[in-house]
Amino acid sequence: MSLSDKTKRWLNENCKISLKGKTVLVTGANSGVGFKMAEISAYLGADVILACRNKERAKEARLRLIGDHPEASISVMQLDLASLSSIEVFCEELVSSQVDIDAFVNNAGVFRQPGKKTADGFDLVIGTNYIGTYYLSERLLPYLSSLPHEVVYVNTISIIHKIATVDYADFYYEREKRYRAFPVYARSKLCLARYTYAQAKRYAGSNVRMMMNHPGMTITPMGLNAFGNGIGRLAGVVGPLINSPEKSALSLAYILSHEIPSGSIIGPNKGFGGWGYPEMNRIGQRVKEGAEELIRFTDIEIEKAKA
């Protein structure tokens, strides 16, 4: 389904930008918000790379995009954030091919995966959403910072990070008697927010602009897969308070068309960040603190997994 007229009007009025000649890479772009970020990028003229775990679904998404945007340049790469080896292969291919990236969007993520593990033994949600994205970022950012132009690096967090905690004694909630989907997901996104905020400081003065975005309350295939059709019926009841994937995807265009300081969070502007059009959000103290300990812990966890 192509972009709505309402979306096109909003883009024309609020994001006066052409991405012609630019390259935008979006992870997890075969569906949901990621697919719509890719479509908006194509609509604005960018060359788009879909980096997805399932390459066949990515190819199907590419055909859908080309069907609505026949002049767009859209390619596919394979990337599974639940596998350190897949991340290494992806990074090696990107760097060895000297792919010129203007915007890199880490959108891929998972939710509510009780008992499931990554290929390296991490809880699947924390291992994908945080550790996988961390590992990918650590390997790509040195290359991206060597490019002769600005690179916007966007990590997708969640509004639920505001109620998250980090407990290194039980980082993966393994001591819990029952699986707690929201706390696990919230922790993964708080960790990613802390890491991104710290990286913004690390790369201050460089060509890399580190950004965070969150989609607010959005019904996506990830949520439908986790909760079934019940969540879809709920959306029908509270529809005005929930963003469509297309509306949430506008955050990328907003980031690329505005001079927003590195380390900022962009998300919906209504309902305490729950829904609406994108704008800068306040960064809470829990995001600004604890990054050094978190990074040390993460490096140790990755080394243990690779040993």
pLDDT digits (tens, 9 = 90+) for 85-106: 999 999 999 999 999 999 999 9
Looking at the predicted structure, is the pLDDT value of residue 228 above 60?
Answer: no
Query: Given pLDDT bands bounded at 50, 70 and 90, which one contains residue 241?
Result: low
How far are the Cα atoms of 8, 92, 145, 211, 280 from residue 258, in angstroms, in the given order?
17, 31, 20, 12, 10
Mean per-residue pLDDT, 196-218: 95
- Residue type, position 153, single letter: Y
Between 153 and 268, whose confidence is greater? Answer: 153
Residues annotated as catalytic (active site), given as ranges = 185
Backbone φ, ψ for residue 149 (5° rounding): -160, 170
Looking at the predicted structure, is the pLDDT value of residue 1 above 60?
Answer: no
Between 108 and 226, whose confidence is greater? Answer: 108
Name the token pair of 21. 């000649």
What is the pLDDT, as a whole number, of residue 167? 96
What is the pLDDT, as a whole number, of residue 224? 43
Looking at the predicted structure, is the pLDDT value of residue 245 above 50?
Answer: yes
What is the pLDDT, as a whole number, of residue 69? 94
Name the token pair of 41. 């990028």
Rounded to an integer, what distance in angstroms lies between the CA atom of residue 246 and that of residue 239? 14
Check which CATH number belongs to the domain holding 153 and give it: 3.40.50.720
Q: What's the start-to-end Cα distance of the chain, in Å?
A: 46
Which residues span the domain enclosing 171?
5-306
Residue of 65, 47, 152 whose CA lies nearest to 104: 152
Give yes or no for a contact between 108 and 79, defined as CB atoms under 8 angstroms apart.
Answer: yes
Where would I find the H helices in the chain?
5-14, 32-43, 55-68, 84-96, 124-126, 133-144, 181-202, 221-227, 229-237, 245-248, 250-257, 285-288, 291-306
Domains in the chain, number: 1
Mean per-residue pLDDT, 175-202: 94
What is the pLDDT, as a whole number, of residue 142? 98
Name the token pair of 31. 């569906």
Mean pLDDT of the chain: 92
Residue of 58, 49, 134 whose CA lies nearest to 93: 49
